[in-house]
Amino acid sequence: MDYLPIFMNIKDQPCLIVGGGVVAARKADLFIQSGARVSVIAPELKAEMQRFLAQGKIDWVRAEFSAAIVQQNFVQALPKLVISATDEQAVNLAAYEFCQKHDIPVNVADQTEYCDFILPAIVDRSPMTIAISTGGRSPVLARVMKARLEAMIPHGFAKLTDLVGQYRDKVKDAIQSLDGRKAFWEKLLDSVFIDKAVHGKAQEAQAMLEKQLENAGQFEQMPDGEVYIIGAGPGDPELMTFKAQRLLQQADVVLYDRLVSDEIVDLARREAERVYVGKKSKHHALPQEEICQLLVDYAKQGKKVARLKGGDPYIFGRGGEEVEVLASAGIDYQVVPGITAAAGCAAYADFPLTHREFSQSVALVTGHQQEGAAAIDYARLASSGDTMVFYMGIKNAPKIQAGLIAHGMTADTPAAIIEKGTRIDQKVTVTSLGKLTETINQNRIKPPALLVVGEVIKVRERILSAKQQGIVPFKFEQVAQSDHKIAV
């Protein structure tokens, strides 16, 4: 983060605006709405500032800014916050230097290099306030996001927040434990209570709250633990399902491995405990047995546990092993499917896994064989016509290459290596089966990367060619003796 997002209480505190124009007026209005005692230093005031003055919302010091002027007018205490918004750069710099000297947080409008704090775009559903910031990079983008949130969040959320606030102390008195109060509010706010409060059915919402409060004793007991086995997808956070994100936000503990991107881990609530259990070939942060035991132990403590797995938990994710242990221990669990690496990486690499011209089936194969596991059936794969996707296959690429060629696949069969699939720094290297190992060595490709072998990779070249030409070829087949019409 470029700036620490905090909400500061400036009610009845002295705050200073330098400047009397339109921009300064907008800044002054934020101070006014926050209950500050607002002073304005400026030689003259424009229309909006004049209105604030007439309404008694600001005190005006009619002067050019200087350190002496500030000290003369803030005798008892210097301002808590200062915003300088003038057209005179010398004045803005003077205000900035004064504030730096006296350790006063300052904002020079539209000049982030002279800002100790910045003012976000605000969605006001007081007492709920939502702030959106781009770190000063694009105020317009912040306003666009504000407009979207304004449309999504009804004004009735103010009533909801008020109602919840009215009962905060009552709930605290009725339920002594922090975990119990958390469970109370989570259950209430995951029901139709929100809809009733937001849409003005205050009495019905209040009745629901009162009824749940009558049963406050149940929340003093240790809550039942639960484990969420969540498929985090191949890397892009936007490929996670709504359910995955919702359960991740509820979790008290998050166990994650090295294939889960930092952006996805950061979607968990800040209070959640994060436990890295990353696995790398021959280098495990924790053995699988210990990971399973951790899930059981945390759940038995009444925790909600999110087990984040790259891709889909049931496709080479060992999710089945973990669920077996949870079921044996009597632990409640949910499995949330995720987009597996094969589907996600191929889509982002501009080729499908199936195509009627090239392949009607897909084989998902682990390239990393566990000791004692059956060897890859290269004979079946080579004769199947499948698009073959090898997970964890970089180190065993020479064996994969040799095995497929030995059983009849031609050396010129297309192959692709996808590194950091679906992420912003994804890299796709297209080669042939005969040059697979050579390509990996020449490009110094390291895991994690996905290997794809099959004729369907030819579609990528056609798509890229069409993009370069600005024409996407598309062929409609005629449907004989049919009344069906195709609308374009």
Indicate the annotated binding residues for S-adenosyl-L-methionine: 234, 310-312, 315, 340-341, 392, 421
Alpha-carbon torsion, ordered 196, 201, 204, 207, to 10 deg: 90
Is residue 343 within 8 A of residue 353, CB to CB? The reply is yes
Looking at 257, 303, 309, 386, which residue is catalytic? 257
Helix (H) or strand (E) holding 26: helix 22-33
List the binding residues.
Answer: 22-23, 43-44, 234, 310-312, 315, 340-341, 392, 421
Specify the residue for token string 């301002």: 79
Contacts of 315 (CB under 8 A, 6+ apart): 340, 342, 364, 391
User: 202-214 and 178-189 are packed helices; what angle lies between their axes, rounded to 10 degrees?
Assistant: 140
Q: Note the maximum CA span of the chain.
A: 93
Contacts of 357 (CB under 8 A, 6+ apart): none
Q: Which two tokens stand for residue 254?
A: 């998050």
Is residue 422 within 8 A of residue 348, CB to CB? The reply is yes
Strands (E), 299-361: 304-309, 332-336
Helix (H) or strand (E) holding 380: helix 378-384
Strands (E), 354-448: 362-366, 387-391, 414-419, 427-432
Catalytic residue check, 2: no
Q: Which two tokens stand for residue 97?
A: 């230097």
Phi-psi region of 213 (alpha: psi -120 to 50; beta: other; left: phi over 0): alpha
Q: DSSP class of residue 435?
A: G
> Hey, which residues does 284 pair with through a beta bridge?
279
List the binding residues for NAD(+).
Answer: 22-23, 43-44
Nearest to 416 by CA among 399, 433, 441: 433
Q: What is the 3-state secondary structure (H, E, C) of 349-363?
A: CCCCCCECCCECCEE
What Cα–Cα distance (Å) separates residue 323 from each residue in 142, 155, 314, 328?
42, 43, 10, 8
Looking at 46, 279, 300, 435, which residue is catalytic? 279
Coil, strand, or helix at residue 113? helix
Nearest to 439 by CA among 427, 449, 431, 428: 431
Catalytic residue check, 46: no
Specify the residue for token string 């002594």: 176
Q: Could you give the CA distance from residue 98 to residue 386 in angstroms, rounded to a whole number? A: 71
Active centre residues (catalytic):
257, 279
